[in-house]
Amino acid sequence: MEEALVDYLEDNCQYTLTQMQEMLEYDFGVRISTSLIGKKLCDKRYTVKQVRIEPETCNNSVNTEKRGVFGEALLKHERKGSLIVYNDETNYSLYCKRTQVRAPIGQRAIVKLPPSKGANLQVQCAITPEVDLVHYATRRGSIKMQVNAEFVDAVYNAVNAHDVYRAHFTGKTIVIVLDNAPARRTWSKRERT
């Protein structure tokens, strides 16, 4: 029966002790307490953990193939001596609140908050191994496609104006690698002269 418990969890790690109790009763005709099931799972080195959500598309064969094509194209640019610039963005929530406060026993701890948390602070950066920080921008609120396009244009102009580019990369391709899902969907390839 202990092996059946392990098999149940290998099949679906979200089964509760009560569900496994019912499954054992159905499979073996024996009703075992949930506390004993929990102890047996601990003996088998199974513990309760925080769930890590992994999208079904994560590491599937189609996406792996796309990443391989992207990687090969990037390596081809590297071999040609192109200047590769990496672009990324992050956001910082300026909204801070405490999750634990004090209240008298028997009373709820209620804190009145405004309905909106406000806009986050967005930071965009472009770096390259040859120059380090090429360009950055900060703004409040989400980054729309037009804002992202303007940032990429500013990165391109900053690279063209940099002494390192003029000394070592003049006439070579500037490759800007975007780490931004909306940008990747719309900007699969954009060339500038």
Assess if residue 66 is contained within a domain. Answer: no
179 in the same domain as 91: yes
Percent over 90 (pLDDT), the chain: 43
Residue 176: Cβ-neighbour burial (10 angstroms; 0-12, 13-18, 19+): buried
Q: Which has more pLDDT, 109 or 44?
A: 44
Confidence of residue 180 (pLDDT cuts 50, 70, 90): low
149 in the same domain as 94: yes
Q: Kindly report, residue by residue over 133-153, the tens digit of the pLDDT.
A: 999 999 888 888 888 889 999
As for how many domains the chain has, the answer is: 2
Assess if residue 67 is contained within a domain. Answer: no
Confidence of residue 12 (pLDDT cuts 50, 70, 90): confident
Q: What are the distances in angstroms from CA 23 to CA 11, 35, 191?
A: 13, 15, 60
92 in the same domain as 11: no
DSSP string spanning 7-72?
Answer: HHHHH-TT--HHHHHHHHHHHHS----HHHHHHHHHHTT----------TTTT-HHHHHHHHHHHH
152 in the same domain as 90: yes
176 in the same domain as 93: yes
Domain that holds residue 173: 81-99+118-186
86 in the same domain as 178: yes
| CA–CA gap between residue 49 and residue 33 (Å, rounded) | 21
Work out the mean pLDDT of the chain and round it to a whole number: 84
CATH number of the domain at 93, please: 3.30.2390
Give the mean pLDDT of 162-175. Answer: 93
Residue 185 pLDDT > 70: no
145 in the same domain as 86: yes
Q: Kindly report, residue by residue over 19-77, the tens digit of the pLDDT.
A: 999 999 999 999 999 999 999 988 888 888 877 777 777 778 888 898 899 999 999 99
Q: Which of 7-11, 128-132, 147-151, 154-158 has the highest mean pLDDT?
A: 154-158
- Helix or strand holding residue 1 (H, E): none
Give the mean pLDDT of 107-132. Answer: 81
Give the mean pLDDT of 93-104. Answer: 70
Assess if residue 91 is contained within a domain. Answer: yes
89 in the same domain as 152: yes
Assess if residue 155 is contained within a domain. Answer: yes
Predicted TM-score of the model (pTM)? 0.60
Assess if residue 30 is contained within a domain. Answer: yes
| Cβ neighbours around 126 below 10 Å, total | 25
Token pair in block for residue 93: 């929530």
Question: How much is the pLDDT for 43?
Answer: 87
